[in-house]
Every structure is written in structure tokens, then in C-alpha cells.
Structure 1
Amino acid sequence: MVPRPLHVVNEGLAFALEIAALAVLAWWGADVGDGVVLSVLLGVGVPLVTAVVWGLFAAPKARVRLPLAGVLLVKVLVFGAATAALYALDHGALALVGAVIVVANLVLATLDRNALVRNRA
């Protein structure tokens, strides 16, 4: 199991990454839209739909309880979309750094949760 201070830092990082993903998707939506109306619709709509999907399937208190593989799939899709959006916005280096941080965060969180489940059994 991960030491408590590292667990707390990793959980805080996870939340920051989730907010950053929504911000990047809003930025991408606003940038890709052709005209003010479409830019606003995509800039608001893409992160809104993403937040709803996250809340339904990937949040700690998700309405739909998926197995770990399902939750990880949702997280990979959301963070993958944010990474692709950053790349499309011509920020390839930032996309790569963000992707590495996300992978490290998800791996550490998954190992921590698996250890917690084993200790409860």
C-alpha cells in the first residue's frame, strides 16, 4: 500500500488532472468551432458532456458502478481526448508531459486501490 502522504498527494493530483482535462477540452472546443456560436457551444458542451460521463462512470461516487477495467477505460478516454486536444492545439510537448503524468497517477492510484482491496479481504 502507498504511504498515506503519497496517497493524499496522488489523489490531489488526480483532481487537478481532471480539472485540467476539462479546461483543455473547453479550450479545444472554443478553438475548433467555426464562428462565435459554434465556438461557445463546443467550448461549453464538450467539457460538460465529459463531466457528465465522468460523474456517471469514473467519479469516486459514480452513479454507475463499473468494474475497475471500465473505470480505467473511461479515464483513458477522457485523458486521451484531452491529450489529443492539446496536441491539436499545437502543444505537443505539453500533451506528452501531461500524458506521462496521467499514466503515473493512474498506475499509482490503481496499485494503491488494489492493495487496499487485498488488505480488506
Structure 2
Amino acid sequence: MMAVLLALAFLLEPAMLVAAGWWGFSLDAGLAVRLAAGLGAPLLITVVWGIFCSPKASVPLAAPAKTAIQAACFVTGGLLLALAGRPVPGILLVVLWAANTTLLRLAGDPA
């Protein structure tokens, strides 16, 4: 069961980045703005994730703080996907992350 939960966690992370990129590339703006937003939003989330949430994070946090940063990243990804006209997948992304994270914690995964 733990392997399935960890695999889902692994798959949800790039899905969050794709959601942020989808928002940027779907903006009703010029090509330069769409490129900046479509590449910049996932890059910003990736930087935050790498600094605070990755296994080799440069700023190690206690589990509750790390979970809060992860939640902020996933809620941002879900919100951006909703703003791109895909509210159901946006909500599903956040709900799947929350459920998976809860099950991982109950199964004994500390981070």
C-alpha cells in the first residue's frame, strides 16, 4: 500500500506543475506573456518545492511546516487550473493530494 501512495505522490507533483503551465499557456494574452506565465509559474513552484519540500531541501522544515508549503503549492496549482477553465481537474488535484498525504501520514511516512 505504501508503494502505491508514494507512486501517487510522485505523479501528483508533475501534475501540479503541468496545471500551472496550462494556466500560463491558456492566458488570453500575447505570446510573450503566455510563454513567461506558462514557463514561469511552474518554475516558481519548482523553486519553492526544491528549497522547502524536496528530500534534499536546502531549508529543512518540520513536518507540519513542510506539509503547509506543499499544500500551498498544490492549492496554487489547483487554483491556476481552475482559472484556466478546468475547475473540476483543479479541485481533483488538490483533493487527491490531500487524501494521499493523509493516507501517507497514517501509514507512517513522516514527511
Report the TM-score, using the length of structure 1 for normalisation. 0.83
Distance 1:57 1:27 in 2: 24
- AA partner of residue 74 (structure 1): I
Distance 1:48 1:86 in 2: 16
Choose the corresponding residue for 2:96, options 98, 101, 105.
101
Following TM superposition, the consecutive aligned residue runs of length 4 or more in structure 1 with deviations greater than 4 angstroms are none
Question: What is the aligned partner in structure 2 of residue 110 from structure 1?
Answer: 105
Choose the corresponding residue for 1:71, options 33, 48, 66.
66
Choose the corresponding residue for 2:84, options 82, 89, 95.
89
- AA partner of residue 7 (structure 1): M
1:57 and 2:39 matched? no
Choose the corresponding residue for 2:5, options 10, 17, 21.
10
- DSSP 3-state at the match of 2:88: helix
What fraction of aligned residue pairs are identical, expressed as a percent? 30
1:47 and 2:42 matched? yes
| Unpaired segments ≥5 residues, structure 1 | 1-5, 115-121
Root mean square deviation of aligned Cα: 1.6
| Unpaired segments ≥5 residues, structure 2 | none
Deviation at 1:95, TM superposition (A): 2.1
Greater helix proportion: 1
Deviation at 1:113, TM superposition (A): 2.1
- How many residues are matched? 110
Larger radius of gyration: 1
**Quick check: 1:33–1:42 contact (8 Å CA) kept in 2?**
no
**Quick check: 2:78–2:91 contact (8 Å CA) kept in 1?**
yes
Deviation at 1:29, TM superposition (A): 1.3
